[in-house]
Structures are given as C-alpha cells and as structure tokens.
Amino acid sequence: MTNASEYAKKVQEKIHQRSNHEPEFLQAIDEFLPTIIPFLENHPEYQEHNILSLITEPERVIQFRVPWMDDNGNWQVNRGYRIQFNSALGPYKGGLRFHPSVNLSVLKFLAFEQIFKNALTGLPIGGGKGGSDFDPKGKSDAEIMHFCQSFMTELAKYIGPNQDIPAGDIGVGKREIGYLFGTYKRIKQYDAGVLTGKPLEFWGSQGRKEATGYGAVYFAKHLLADLSETLENKKAIVSGSGNVAIYCIEKLYQLGAKPVTCSDSNGFIYDKAGIDLELLKEIKEVRRERLTEYVKVRPNAQYIEGSVWNFDVEAELAFPCATQNEINLDSAKRLVANGIRVVAEGANMPSSLEAADCFVEAGVYYCPGKAANAGGVAVSALEMSQNSQRLQWETEEVDERLDGIMKHIYQNCRDTAIEHGAKDNLMLGANIAGFARVAEAMLIQGLV
C-alpha cells in the first residue's frame, strides 16, 4: 500500500484531470485533501477502501432548464441545479443560491463543504447544494415569484422532507422560500419539512434568520474563552451586508464588541463609531437598497469603493460574511500586519487557499467557514425537528442550542487538531473531524 500522502496526492491529481474546468471545486479539494493525511495515516482501513475517491464524487448532479417570463413579456431562460453530494449521515441538506456567478463548479465546492459542515453539527444531515445563475438584483417581486415557481416545478421531482431539504443562501431569503414552498405544496403535498428557513408564519424556526451570523460570533466567543478572553471592546471588520453580516454585527454588539465595517459588491462602509445596525437593517431588509444610502444618513461614516480587505484599519477580529475568495493573499498579509488575531468565516470559503495558509502560518486563529458558519444549517436541522414534532420552540431554546452546538464544534475542531499534532490549526481540525464522521458512516454502509 502506498503511504497516505501519496494516496491523497494521487486522488487529488485524478480529480484535477477530470474536473480541470471547475476551479472552485478544485480549490475546495486542494484545501481539504492534504489536511486529511494525518488521519489516514492512523486509519489505513479508509485508504484500503479508497474512501477519498468515493467521498469526492457527488452521488447525484441534477441540472435543469428554468424558463420564466419577465415583466415585459420576454421569455427568459436560466440554469437550475441541485448537487446531492453525500447522504451517509442523512438526507441531503444545504441551501439554494441565486446569483449570476452560480455554475456547476461553485455549487460542487459549496456542496462538498456542506457535507463536512453538516457533519460537524453532530445532527443527522447529509450534504447538498443548489441554485441558479438567475440574478435577483433589480427584479420585481412578480419576476422573483415567477422564477421561483418555475424553478420549483422542476426541483420538486428530486426533493422531499426525508430525501433532500433545501434552504436559503445568497439571493434566497424568506420571500423566495415562501414562493418555493407554495409551488412545492401545489405540485406534491403539504410537507412542512421540505424546506427550511421558512417564514415564521408557517413552520419556520425562531432564530433561523439570525443563526449563521450569531453562530460565527459564538464560535469566536468560545475560542476566546479558551484564551481567558471575551469579545468585550474588541474591534471587528465585517464584510457583506446580507443576512449573515447583519446578524453577525448584531451579536457582536450584544457581546460588547465593536464592528466598524460592512460591504456590498461595489464598496464598503467604514464607520469609526461602529456600524449603525438599525440603519443597516432599514436599508438592506426593508428598503432593499445599496449601501451608499448609509452615508446619506451618517455623514461621519465613509463609503469607500473597492474591497474592505484592502483597507488599513487596526482590528483584532475579522468576520468575512460576503462570498467565496473575497480575501486573497495580499489582503491576508494586510490583515496580519493590522493586528488581526481571529478570522471567523461567516461566508463559505471567503479566504483563498494562500490566504488561509498565511493565517495559519502567522498564528492567527483561522476558523474556516465549514466550522464557523455551521450555525445556519444547524438551526435548519432544528427547524426540521420542530416540523416533525409539529411544534415551534421558543427563541431562547433555539438560541441556547445554537450556542451549545457552536461550542461543541469549536471544541471538536480544537481537540482534533491537537490529537493530530497540529495544535491551533482549526482548519485541519475541522476537516478531519467532519471527515471522520462521514467516512465512518460510509464504510458501515458499504460500497454505495
């Protein structure tokens, strides 16, 4: 038998050959496989069963046409997808993303990450992801509804409460989930548990909207507690201005920290006095407008074009909550030079591979998305439990469980890293801990 490192390399090379047109998926693979080697060295049975080849291949990839009519009567066509990547631990679970950047590569990377994220929650959910290259920006409510109805008309064939349970992601919030749910119900039947992130008016869970952002901050809280520190008075750089960023900012304030930035795809706000959360919510959640509106009300704040990660501001905490690859190597070096000590990823894969390595080498506590942003999907799984019980839990109960789950994930990553001789390398800890749970279930289930 070749050694574990040669084995991982061979599998990695083969994936590169077969998927060389899928850069984001390859990036996720390249980040993941090398970190699994210490585990494989201790567990030769996984290598004997060629588990890496099995686990990196999606169980099923679905692609479909989404035709819809715009407000001017024009016929439009988008691509719809669902990647059902791994069901060893439970039904496929993961969000739907509506964004022009969506393609097979992006969704395969997201679905691959989702498998291990979901495993880390300790809950019985497999990994999947889906979406469309549909751009919701500038679309009317009617157009959004027509698109969602067409998308679900096809997707409904492949999902169900015990089969595959989509939720939101970028461009998909409770409005879209409402329309998707309505169409699913019309085609099939009333299955409350077929989607999560549902509105509170029908079967949604308290705390789901806040869960990803809150969870990322809880993760940082438990990490800091280990260092006998709190979030109190610590300055934070936050990117994004969607659901994840807004509730990350909210929880940072609740725990005494000071978030000074947020961003959209054109630029970012730097508000030295701290981001005005109510104003941000009003602009993004109620008015659905651009961030440039913020400085009209807060003239002392600055709106600066470009990436927030190219901006020099001293801070101890960074919460990238926008999208993949927003932090490159140069930005990572800049963050290190500006005194960053903790990077907790609210988004999926916001740091490039080089950036992540830079953080780890510089001794920054790098909390990868699959661990730090698992709060969202964890509360989705709690929503599924509530739907099965025909109950809606109180906010406090959901929040307490979320905090407990994030604590468990952090401790699992920390202890797994130590166990494999890589203390403080939470990326390695997260990858191995997630992998171990999925791989074990796969071996028990046999070659399927």
C-alpha torsion 109→83→190→143, nearest 10: 70
Is 221 a catalytic site residue? no
Is 169 a binding residue for ligand GLU by CB under 6 A? The answer is yes
Q: Looking at beta carbons only, is 169 or 403 nearer to ligand GLU? A: 169
What is the smallest separation between the CB atom of 196 and ligand GLU, expressed in angstroms? Answer: 5
Q: Could you tell me which stretch among 49-57, 302-310, 373-381, 384-392 binds ligand GLU (CB under 6 A)?
A: 373-381
The answer to whether residue 372 forms part of the interface with ligand GLU (CB under 6 A) is no
Out of 196, 243, 261, 323, point to the residue binding ligand GLU (CB under 6 A): 196
Contact flags string 292-331 toward ligand GLU, x per CB under 6 A: ----------------------------------------
The contact pattern for ligand GLU, residues 74-113, with x = CB under 6 A and - = no contact, is -------------------xxx------------------
In the list 150, 348, 386, 431, the residue contacting ligand GLU (rule: CB under 6 A) is: 348
Considering beta carbons, is residue 259 or 346 the nearer one to ligand GLU?
346
Q: Whole-number minimum distance, CB 228 to ligand GLU, in Å?
A: 31
Residue facing ligand GLU at closest CB distance: 95
By CB under 6 A, residue 167 contacts ligand GLU: yes
Compute the distance between CA of residue 335 and CA of residue 353 in angstroms, rounded to an integer.
15
Q: Pick between residue 12 and residue 87 the one whose CB is nearest to ligand GLU.
A: 87
> Is the CB of 80 or the CB of 376 nearer to ligand GLU?
376
* Total chain residues near ligand GLU (CB under 6 A): 12
Distance CA(240)–CA(321), nearest Å, equals: 5
Tell the smallest beta-carbon distance from residue 94 to ligand GLU (Å). Answer: 5
Measured distance CA(61)–CA(311) in Å, rounded = 40
Instruction: Give the interface segment with ligand GLU, choosing from 155-163, 181-189, 303-311, 374-382 (CB under 6 A).
Output: 374-382
**Residue 4 vs 438, nearer CB to ligand GLU:** 438
Pick the binder of ligand GLU from 84, 351, 352, 380 (CB under 6 A): 380
Q: Which of 108, 129, 235, 370 is catalytic?
A: 129
Instruction: Decide: 133 and 79 in contact? Cβ < 8 Å.
Output: yes
What does each C-alpha distance from 42 to 129, 190, 286, 437 come to in angstroms? 31, 47, 53, 15
Nearer to ligand GLU, 143 or 169 (CB): 169
Beta carbon of residue 323, minimum distance to ligand GLU (angstroms, whole number): 11
Q: Are 294 and 270 in contact (CB under 8 A)?
A: no
102-161 residues in contact with ligand GLU (CB under 6 A) are: 117
Taking CB under 6 A as the binding criterion, the range among 173-181, 376-384, 385-393, 432-440 that sits at the site for ligand GLU is 376-384
Catalytic residues: 129
Residues contributing to the site for ligand GLU (CB under 6 A) = 93-95, 117, 167, 169, 196-197, 348, 376-377, 380
